Structure 1
């Protein structure tokens, strides 16, 4: 009996799928066009990859999905939940209301039911004021039947979750178990507004995540596969379906992250720069110990600043379908718009009439694809200038990601990676491994399961050793809840930052644990 796993990654242009055996060798791979409703593209890719793999369906034990469903829903404001926003922090935080600084149309979509309740904690865990439970009961009765998801944020809840937990209990008591409740202490890190925004966004995409999960499970069943299902999350690891439906915000940016993990696996490199060239954009990230380097900046999603963990990426509007416009005077522009998944109809090499970056590479003989005679009439010297500019754009992005001037290995992955040469400035070597076109699906299939926590500890009270020990244990528990095997757990990242502006020798500890699938 073999154990196979299927990995699927949904990108803006292509939906990729792979099947791996128990040694993580690629048995079959496929690329399908991403469809408007996403689910159809997943069905198509899954059907194709299973048909060509010719492995017994009952031996496919794991299925992993990396999806852009939630990102797209926030950016396009489509299919979002009806939510209520409850902030526990009056009177301390009345000056800045929830959703301050968020783009107007997102605020209109999510800010219909916003409440400020007395309560919250100080940085050292002392209550500011006691929780106004009567007000919470009143709110719960008021929103009954009007919302299907609630975002609860309390001041300094990463230090003490007491008020958030109590608020959840009250809401569940009045509104029943059906209501989805997102707590900020489980999602963001220290920093009230960004953590609150991340929690609000999480609450708003629960329905979208549920639909995606149900669709994926149904697609597997239609193929006669009963596998354990996991979702990719944005730190390069996996989470169980139950966990993903509770914390869908963690699926945001998992596509590029999967590509980074896949690139590391395919090239056997643990520290390198990865350029993932899709149809619409190229994402450049950095691998540190085989995992994506995390961004230390607040990240904007659909016009809202958030502070939960995200990979450190530079995205440029340059992919296989990027449109090249040539002016009368021989000047030209590259992108940022793309023909995306319409490349097979619109590109000149396929008989279309839009000049794309792929056409440029084919005309110059860099890539063999489509019908080269369709682009033979174009001015080679001009195209060479366009091509040099494309390469320069990638080299600039690589340069931005580097922490020193020393050359680093560069791994090229993604469907559009064939466009670029074997030598790039700033690279100690350029690698384009086999199966690199579907590195993202491979990344989702080989991933481990992780758990991460971030908390403030008072060293004067419990001592540094105990603080780190407690944080490690908690991170491991989170990983086990997300579906990791207890025996294989390791701590992959630990960081403690002394907080000079707080008394009591306070320190912020962040720990991440990862392990194999159960």
Structure 2
């Protein structure tokens, strides 16, 4: 797969009609495009990436010259480069952390437990000052306004390009975060500020980590959004620009500028969603066979199965307060290098640039040699070595699936090396058309959503109902601001759970609203 792979066809999945959507999925090895009309794939393309976002996008768009003939209504991008930036600790901005809590209230300071390389890339200083509330919204300690002002001045002098503010129980009582933000803005006008209560849940450390990552990603997100717009405009694609989130829903570009952390692991989420669309099912076990690794995830009710709120999530080696796709992975992919004389799999840490066409022979090359994958055969090896390489790789993939399949069979296989799927023995595998471009298809099919989660103290049922109504209104406003048509917004989840370990009537509210992308003319 060293050159663009393009498919122009009509492929019915399970219905026709609807908007014309373009999905763009930028991964670490490939950039996928998919043009959808309703649930029908009109065209798809897969190109290897070089690490140059705008150049890669132009190459992909050039591979679909007929794209200009279609009135595209919406464009959704899975911004895999944001996840790659966090994993590699590259392209992130230096930031400072401000935590507001009671004096001596937490032994672990900001950035504690971060991977060393990631912390070195972003840590521009931190402070733990008095402030915050408990879950009953009682103030833990007053703010030290002078100390906050000094912190802001020091952070700016050290080169911080953003600040993340995290106060104890701010999802229930955000006042101290808001006041601190005002003080910092008056001291250092224009410095971007992330408030933890706007993007994450209740646990302080996970919420703080999420806010810090968000602050570090903002300059990269802003720059890349502008670059994407310029390229798309050059190709006459002026439909609303949307971005996939961690749960395979989407938000508009302006919201991603403020909250880029919500795009982490969007690639996994849209791959799962795309696999379900291609297989015509709302419930599936999905294996994505990639270039450098492979993973298994699940789809329930047409949506990726996510981690529970209580589980937190590792990104990477770092607990964050986001519900990300629940996946299992293995370092086996189509780009795994092999010894073409013996068929042995070689070091996983130095894969070629793409699954085929790089300087070294790969598992995918062996599959092509054996006729298991459709691509130009570029290597010579013995059939014995090729069979051994494919057998070893697919056995590891089989073990990945063993024990988790349950009744979610058959397994839907997608990804750039999806052609390896049918070679996995002992599994009932479905390989749908356009499997290699499932992430772009999932991105194209994403819809806006918004969640509101908070803790409230209520005196009676009337107060609780009023608080739940307010949360519902905020969730509906959030999904509209994410790009949804106001006429199509609906509440899909609403709950008020009593927190029994706290005294009094303390409830955790959670509301989720979803919608459809607002109709657009598509081109100027």
Same fold (TM over 0.5): yes
Contact persistence 1:285–1:401 (CA under 8 A)? no
Which residue, 50, 59, 63 being the options, matches 1:48? 63
Structure 1: give runs of 5+ residues left out of the alignment.
347-351
CA RMSD of aligned residues (A): 2.6
Question: Following TM superposition, by how much is the alpha carbon of 1:92 offset from its aligned partner in structure 2, in angstroms?
Answer: 4.5
Residues 1:35 and 2:34 aligned together: no
**3-state secondary structure, aligned to 1:301:** coil
Contact persistence 2:395–2:424 (CA under 8 A)? no
Where does 1:266-345 land on structure 2 (aligned, <5 Å)?
266-296=278-308, 297-325=311-339, 332-333=344-345, 336-337=348-349, 339-345=351-357
Question: Following TM superposition, by how much is the alpha carbon of 1:389 offset from its aligned partner in structure 2, in angstroms?
Answer: 3.6
Q: Which residue of 2 is the match for residue 473 of structure 1?
A: 473
Question: Following TM superposition, by how much is the alpha carbon of 1:68 offset from its aligned partner in structure 2, in angstroms?
Answer: 1.6
Which residue, 391, 394, 397 being the options, matches 2:394? 391
Q: Deviations over 1:455-506 (max 9, x none)?
A: 2234654566555444333322221221112221233445665433222243
Contact persistence 2:355–2:417 (CA under 8 A)? no
Question: Following TM superposition, by how much is the alpha carbon of 1:126 offset from its aligned partner in structure 2, in angstroms?
Answer: 1.0
Q: Deviations over 1:103-153 (max 9, x none)?
A: 233333333221122110001111111222232233333334632211000
TM-score calculated relative to the size of structure 2: 0.87
Deviates more, 1:336-345 or 1:280-289: 336-345
Q: Take 1:423 and 1:80, find their aligned partners in 2: how far apart are those partners?
A: 39
**3-state secondary structure, aligned to 1:205:** helix
More strand per residue: 1 or 2?
1
Q: Deviations over 1:314-362 (max 9, x none)?
A: 122122211235897x8x446634634344433xxxxx5x342113323
**3-state secondary structure, aligned to 1:306:** coil
Q: Deviations over 1:340-386 (max 9, x none)?
A: 4344433xxxxx5x3421133234332343228723x242xx65454
After superposition, the Cα gap between the structure-2 partners of 1:225 and 1:361, relative to the gap in structure 1 and judged at 3 Å, is closer
After superposition, the Cα gap between the structure-2 partners of 1:496 and 1:423, relative to the gap in structure 1 and judged at 3 Å, is farther
Q: Take 2:407 and 2:48, find their aligned partners in 1: how far apart are those partners?
A: 39
Contact persistence 1:261–1:291 (CA under 8 A)? yes
Q: Take 1:466 and 1:425, find their aligned partners in 2: how far apart are those partners?
A: 55
Contact persistence 2:275–2:435 (CA under 8 A)? yes
Which residue, 174, 187, 194 being the options, matches 1:161? 174
Deviates more, 1:294-303 or 1:492-501: 492-501
Q: Take 1:143 and 1:368, find their aligned partners in 2: how far apart are those partners?
A: 55
Q: Which residue of 1 is the match for residue 415 of structure 2?
A: 414
**3-state secondary structure, aligned to 1:324:** coil
Where does 1:154-303 land on structure 2 (aligned, <5 Å)?
154-176=167-189, 178-296=190-308, 297-303=311-317
Q: Take 1:60 and 1:363, find their aligned partners in 2: how far apart are those partners?
A: 39
Deviates more, 1:439-448 or 1:463-472: 463-472
Q: Which residue of 2 is the match for residue 349 of structure 1?
A: none
- Count of matched residue pairs: 497
Residues 1:135 and 2:144 aligned together: no
